[in-house]
Chains A and B, each alone.
Chain A
Amino acid sequence: NAGVTQTPKFQVLKTGQSMTLQCAQDMNHEYMSWYRQDPGMGLRLIHYSVGAGITDQGEVPNGYNVSRSTTEDFPLRLLSAAPSQTSVYFCASSYWQGTYNEQFFGPGTRLTVL
């Protein structure tokens, strides 16, 4: 299994540009999430999904959109990039068997908005 994969690894955008960060997992996990990590900080939840067709907002959802059309993929869209969105973005997935289970994190996408 490849686990959780994210593309691209690095991205530089200009203010106002849009882009999509890709996330895929091959573990058949129901739950997928997006976090951002600012320098010297812990991760903050942006959006999450409990299954295909179901998404919800996390702690810092403004400026981001998500969709979940398949179990495997959970893309994160920046509609109009702002310098405040400069961060490292992590995608994570976990499975659900009636109890809590660990989240598996991808390697991250480092985004710079100029």
Chain B
Amino acid sequence: GESVGLHLPTLSVQEGDNSIINCAYSNSASDYFIWYKQESGKGPQFIIDIRSNMDKRQGQRVTVLLNKTVKHLSLQIAATQPGDSAVYFCAENLGQGAQKLVFGQGTRLTINP
């Protein structure tokens, strides 16, 4: 079946450094991708999304890059802060509208002081 996976299950960075979280997807027909942040005991929180007709999208301190040739997605977080510590999931949308998402396993990001 289709799947979305992550290269690294854990990532530790120093506070103030930039972090990059990677994601590989397998469904070449997916045309919408989302990054979610999940803190312990809470539901996923939307960070940023990107459509397949784009290569890059920037938000506040976050950038998502999409490489459709190799089916790769990445999330860059600039100047990491302690509050960035969480599990980050990438997800691809298989259906019209954001209601049929396939999630990756997740990467736990730890910010060291």
In the complex, which of the residues A4, A102, A106, A108 contacts B46, with contact meaning CB atoms closer than 8 Å?
A: A102
The minimal Cβ–Cβ distance linking A44 to chain B, given in whole angstroms, is 7
| B46 contact set on A, CB distance < 8 A | 102-104
A96-B96 Cα distance, complex, nearest whole Å? 9
Q: B3's closest neighbor in chain A, by CB?
A: A42
A residues whose Cβ falls under 8 Å from a Cβ of B: 4, 31-33, 35, 40-45, 48, 50, 58-59, 90, 92, 94, 96, 100-108
Please determine whether A102 and B49 come into contact, CB atoms closer than 8 angstroms. yes
A7-B90 Cα distance, complex, nearest whole Å? 27
| B34 contact set on A, CB distance < 8 A | 102-103
A32-B44 Cα distance, complex, nearest whole Å? 15
Interface size on B, residues (CB 8 A): 24
Within 8 A of A (CB), among B62-90: 89
In the complex, which of the residues B41, B43, B89 contacts A42, with contact meaning CB atoms closer than 8 Å?
A: B89
Please determine whether B42 and A45 come into contact, CB atoms closer than 8 angstroms. no
Interchain Cβ contacts under 8 Å between A and B, 8 examples: A33-B99, A41-B105, A59-B102, A103-B34, A103-B98, A105-B43, A105-B44, A105-B45
B residues whose Cβ falls under 8 Å from a Cβ of A: 4, 32, 34, 41-46, 49, 51, 89, 91, 93, 97-106
Please determine whether A44 and B98 come into contact, CB atoms closer than 8 angstroms. no
| B4 contact set on A, CB distance < 8 A | 42
A42-B91 Cα distance, complex, nearest whole Å? 9
Please determine whether A94 and B43 come into contact, CB atoms closer than 8 angstroms. no
| B43 contact set on A, CB distance < 8 A | 4, 90, 92, 105-108
Contact flag A100-B100 (CB < 8 Å), given A40-B105, A105-B44, A108-B43: no
